[in-house]
């Protein structure tokens, strides 16, 4: 009797040890740690509680592949993906809360033998289910020492497998989240590329339209493109929001679109314009506005920016005679860029001005015609480009004048100081 009591005590102690392992297993399932590591720990806990030296946990993918998540002591075959045929999956899915494998007469065991799972170390196979679906498989090897699994062992294994299934379900959710995130990131990237392509096509169309306007007057060929380059360089140097930079880019390309209705002979006239001819020229910003305000641009105020590109900051410009504080920043930028390009380019009635003269004009006309701060930004960009601080210069390549860069850089310093201090 004494001996029997001893055995019973050992069994109770073993049950308590296994229950303590089950408690730790549940902790694994609800802990916020790394999910794969948690599945691995759960497998080790089950193996230590039985105890057995062989075990593996698989997740069942949608395509019927069993992928090992954790394994210990098993042969290489069980450390690789195993394809299950649909009928095997169907058989496994029907088994609820049942340990299979230890009774070799079971039909499912015959299948397992064929799969290689049993031959490679599995003594017991336990389908892992969550939310009524088969999500994986636990394989446990024979007990260390060769004892048979008792009824109590199987009950414990079933309970442990439930916790492991929760853990595995967490792992699958996490993997799904990673996959969804990755897919979402790919879609966002794809969308961004499409958007960039679309934007590229859009800008090319705008450029083509601007080139068509410029072509009406051989003297202003390429003018819109150059004004756009200078305007964008200023806007970027001022660190304006990207949306505003794009609006300025489009508006500067199209600022002269109103000239499409101006008589060509007026645009190309070499002599002095009559007051009527000048009045017709002066109509082009409003015409630009009227044309462009009917178009929906993806950026704000494009039409308005073109309307005011001939305004002066002292209010003596056209068409509305607005002063600096009432003028959009983009219009003031385009006004500076437009005037700068006009000065450095040949015109029917004069040759391109020397750079020094152009810069001096900005100094003279700042606060009357040009915004001094924006003019100073243009000068700063020129200085940076001449000093080689900008790898892809926008403005210096447009200059045709032979000038002394050292002298111009010094001169630019003085101009910037005067523009900002007066």
CA distance 313 to 317: 8
Cβ 113 to other proteins, closest distance in Å? 23
| Contact status: 51 vs other proteins (CB under 8 A) | yes
Which C-beta is closer to other proteins: that of 11 or that of 85?
11
| Contact status: 14 vs other proteins (CB under 8 A) | yes
Q: Which stretch binds other proteins (CB under 8 A): 44-52, 57-65, 282-290, 320-328?
A: 44-52
The contacts of residue 55 (CB under 8 Å, 6+ apart) are 43, 46, 47, 71, 72, 73, 74, 138, 139, 140, 141
Chain center to CA of 332: 33
Give the one residue of 48, 315, 354, 405 binding other proteins; rule: CB under 8 A: 48
Q: Which stretch binds other proteins (CB under 8 A): 37-45, 267-275, 301-309, 359-367?
A: 37-45
Contact 73, 141 (CB under 8 A): yes
Tokens (6 digits) for 108: 């499912």
| Contact status: 144 vs other proteins (CB under 8 A) | yes
Which C-beta is closer to other proteins: that of 55 or that of 372?
55
- Whether omega for the bond prior to residue 134 falls within 30 degrees of 0, making it cis, is no
Which C-beta is closer to other proteins: that of 46 or that of 359?
46
Site for other proteins in 145-164 (CB under 8 A): 145, 147
Contact 100, 154 (CB under 8 A): no
| Contact status: 20 vs other proteins (CB under 8 A) | yes
Tokens (6 digits) for 190: 């794809």
Give the one residue of 53, 93, 106, 293 binding other proteins; rule: CB under 8 A: 53
Which C-beta is closer to other proteins: that of 16 or that of 177?
16
Contact 213, 256 (CB under 8 A): yes
State the Cα torsion 11-12-13-19 to the nearest 10°. 110
| Contact status: 13 vs other proteins (CB under 8 A) | yes
Cβ 147 to other proteins, closest distance in Å? 7
Q: How many residues bind other proteins (CB under 8 A)?
A: 25
Chain center to CA of 81: 34
| Contact status: 142 vs other proteins (CB under 8 A) | no
Site for other proteins in 362-381 (CB under 8 A): none
| Contact status: 49 vs other proteins (CB under 8 A) | yes
Which C-beta is closer to other proteins: that of 51 or that of 222?
51
CA distance 318 to 307: 9
Rounded to whole angstroms, what are the CA distances from 69 to 38, 66, 172, 224, 302? 10, 9, 10, 62, 57
Q: Residue 279 phi/psi, 5° resolution?
A: -60, -40
Cβ 249 to other proteins, closest distance in Å? 56
Q: Which residues are near other proteins by CB under 8 A?
A: 10, 13-14, 17, 20-21, 24, 37, 40-41, 44-49, 51-53, 55, 72-73, 144-145, 147
């Amino acid at each position: 009797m004494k001996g029997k009591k001893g055995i019973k005590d050992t069994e109770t102690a073993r049950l308590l040890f296994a229950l303590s392992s089950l408690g730790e297993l549940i902790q694994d399932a609800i802990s916020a740690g790394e999910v794969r590591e948690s599945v691995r720990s759960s497998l080790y806990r089950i193996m230590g509680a039985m105890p057995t030296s062989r075990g593996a946990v698989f997740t069942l993918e949608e395509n019927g592949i069993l992928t090992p998540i954790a394994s210990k002591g098993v042969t290489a075959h069980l450390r690789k993906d195993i394809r299950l045929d649909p009928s095997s999956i169907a058989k496994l899915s029907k088994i609820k809360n049942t340990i299979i494998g230890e009774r070799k007469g079971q039909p499912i065991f015959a299948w397992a033998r064929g799969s290689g799972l049993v031959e490679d170390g599995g003594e017991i196979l336990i389908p892992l289910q969550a939310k009524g679906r088969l999500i994986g498989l636990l394989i446990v090897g024979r007990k260390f020492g060769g004892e048979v699994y008792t009824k109590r062992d199987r009950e414990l294994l079933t309970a442990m497998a439930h916790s492991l299934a929760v853990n595995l379900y967490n792992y699958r959710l996490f993997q799904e989240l990673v996959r969804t995130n990755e897919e979402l990131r790919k879609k966002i990237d794809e969308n961004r590329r499409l958007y960039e392509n679309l934007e590229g096509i859009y800008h090319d169309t705008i450029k083509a339209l601007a080139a068509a306007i410029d072509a009406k007057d051989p003297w202003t060929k390429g003018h819109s493109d150059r004004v756009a380059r200078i305007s964008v360089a200023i806007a970027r140097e001022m660190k304006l929001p990207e949306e505003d930079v794009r609006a300025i880019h489009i508006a500067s390309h199209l600022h002269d679109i109103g000239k499409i209705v101006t008589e060509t002979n007026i645009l190309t006239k070499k002599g002095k314009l009559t007051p009527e001819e000048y009045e017709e020229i002066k109509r082009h910003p409003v015409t630009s506005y009227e044309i462009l305000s009917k178009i929906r641009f993806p950026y704000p105020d494009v039409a308005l920016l073109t309307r005011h590109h001939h305004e002066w900051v002292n209010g003596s410009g056209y068409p509305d005679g607005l002063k600096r504080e009432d003028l959009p920043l983009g219009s003031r930028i385009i006004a500076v860029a437009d005037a700068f390009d006009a000065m450095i380019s040949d015109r029917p009635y004069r040759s391109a001005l020397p750079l020094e003269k152009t810069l001096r004009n900005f100094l003279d006309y700042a606060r009357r015609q040009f915004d001094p701060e924006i003019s100073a930004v243009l000068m700063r960009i020129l200085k940076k480009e001449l000093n080689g601080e900008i790898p892809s210069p926008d403005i210096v390549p447009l200059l045709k004048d032979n000038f002394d860069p050292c002298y111009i850089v010094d001169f630019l310093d003085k101009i910037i100081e005067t523009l900002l201090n007066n």
